[in-house]
Amino acid sequence: MDKLRFGAGVWMFQQFVDRYATDAYGPAVSTIAAIDRAGSVGGIEVLDINYPFAGEGSSDGSDVSIDNVREALKRNGITAQAIPPHIYMREFQMGSFTNPDPAMRRKAIDLGKKAVEIAQALDAKYVKFWPGQDGFDYPFQVDYARLWDYAVEGIAEVARSAPRQQFAIEYKQKEPRVQLFFSTAARTLLAIEDMGVDNVGIVLDLGHSFFAKETPADIVQLVSRRGKLVSVEVNDNWREWDDDMAVGSVHLIETLEFLHALRAINWQGPILLDQFPFREDPVKAARSSINTIRTLNSLLDRIDLPALAAAQDKQDALEAQRIVMEMLIGTGVAEATR
């Protein structure tokens, strides 16, 4: 990472609702207004933009055109990074690519292809699939082998239809479906292998990795060594749920290690914020996370890399701790343990 670059999911600047506060945490915000909010953060260069767009007044987004979006991006100096189609709304409540109804699976595939068109029209880097309704709720509800085949075949068909388009799957353990099909990095890599295409990779969401009880820095190497790391998204949580909180607010040391891992693979892409600041100002929340990342990154500039490498050669926990604590909170720790 020669230079940190930032992006965000556009939803971070839109309206939040949940199953209790059904009157929402604030007013509706169109895709256009959300892009303007993103622009006001300062430092956001790219956006991940859901499709269909959120309309100004319409419920189906029909009053926002691609040209409107392109224009809004342009005036904010932002480019489109990814297009995730809405494969997790009401109509896909029983699943998108794994829906039991073949007509709905077809619809998901068609929406995936439509997302390719939008991505190309907006010059977005990848089409993102987040199949939040694919999976199951109850024991015995599904035939797991068939679920696997549906998930693999559906995404493979979209990927084959646009061989020069990059795709990426964002895995998560659960929510809204009680158990999601694409739950961990390793499982998603296996499914991608089965797709038999080379244009599908992974979006590694730091919070999803915490939630999956993975070690995020380890997942960076696992995915990138297989050439499948398409994008990274960041946030934090209490490790029990996808709380989508400010970066580093709970797992500061592991967030630092995640950034260290990105530097180690020479990650050149942007880092995308994926937060749900239900009760905070999203613009300030974005600035706060960007500043945390920048500060952590500058701390990493000070790290004694040869010493860390030597400690890791020996898997020396105390010495590694010493180096990290020295970098993070000052030199006090350094003296005493020697």
Provide, rounded to whole angstroms, the least separation between the CB of residue 55 and a copy of itself. 12
Residue number, 13 or 276, with CB nearest to a copy of itself = 276
Tell me the window of 70-78, 158-166, 196-204, 305-313 that interacts with a copy of itself (CB under 8 A): 305-313
- Work out whether the CA dihedral 29, 33, 39, 40 comes out positive or negative: negative
Site for a copy of itself in 184-203 (CB under 8 A): 184, 186-187, 189-190
Contact call for residues 210 and 237 (beta carbons, < 8 A): yes
Site for a copy of itself in 277-296 (CB under 8 A): 278-281, 284-285, 287-288, 290-292, 294-296
Round to whole Å and give the CA distance between 101 and 119. Answer: 27
Site for a copy of itself in 150-179 (CB under 8 A): 173-176, 178-179
Residue number, 123 or 178, with CB nearest to a copy of itself = 178
Round to whole Å and give the CA distance between 204 and 220. Answer: 8
Provide, rounded to whole angstroms, the least separation between the CB of residue 36 and a copy of itself. 19
305 binds a copy of itself (CB under 8 A): no
Contact call for residues 314 and 306 (beta carbons, < 8 A): no
337 binds a copy of itself (CB under 8 A): yes
- Work out whether the CA dihedral 4, 168, 92, 66 comes out positive or negative: positive
CB atoms within 10 A of CB 301: 8
Residue number, 165 or 181, with CB nearest to a copy of itself = 181
Round to whole Å and give the CA distance between 214 and 216. Answer: 6
Q: Which residue from 299, 300, 304, 307 is in contact with a copy of itself, where contact means CB under 8 A? A: 299
User: Alpha helix locations (H) across the chain?
Assistant: 31-41, 66-75, 102-121, 144-161, 185-195, 206-211, 216-225, 252-264, 282-301, 305-313, 317-329, 332-337
How buried is residue 94: exposed, middle or buried, by Cβ count under 10 Å (0-12/13-18/19+)?
middle
Residue number, 82 or 217, with CB nearest to a copy of itself = 217
315 binds a copy of itself (CB under 8 A): yes
Site track 232-251 with a copy of itself (rule: CB under 8 A), x = hit: ------xxxx-x-xx-xxxx
Provide, rounded to whole angstroms, the least separation between the CB of residue 246 and a copy of itself. 6
Provide, rounded to whole angstroms, the least separation between the CB of residue 67 and a copy of itself. 25
Site for a copy of itself in 61-90 (CB under 8 A): 88-90
**DSSP secondary structure string for all residues of 21-74:** -TT-SS----HHHHHHHHHHHSSEEEEE--BSPPPSS-SSSTT--HHHHHHHHH
Picking from 66, 112, 78, 134, the residue whose alpha carbon sits closest to that of residue 272 is 78
Site for a copy of itself in 87-126 (CB under 8 A): 88-90, 93-95, 100
317 binds a copy of itself (CB under 8 A): yes
253 binds a copy of itself (CB under 8 A): yes
Q: Which residue from 112, 132, 201, 207 is in contact with a copy of itself, where contact means CB under 8 A? A: 132
Tell me the window of 21-29, 77-85, 107-115, 160-168 that interacts with a copy of itself (CB under 8 A): 21-29
Contact call for residues 80 and 46 (beta carbons, < 8 A): yes
Provide, rounded to whole angstroms, the least separation between the CB of residue 120 and a copy of itself. 25
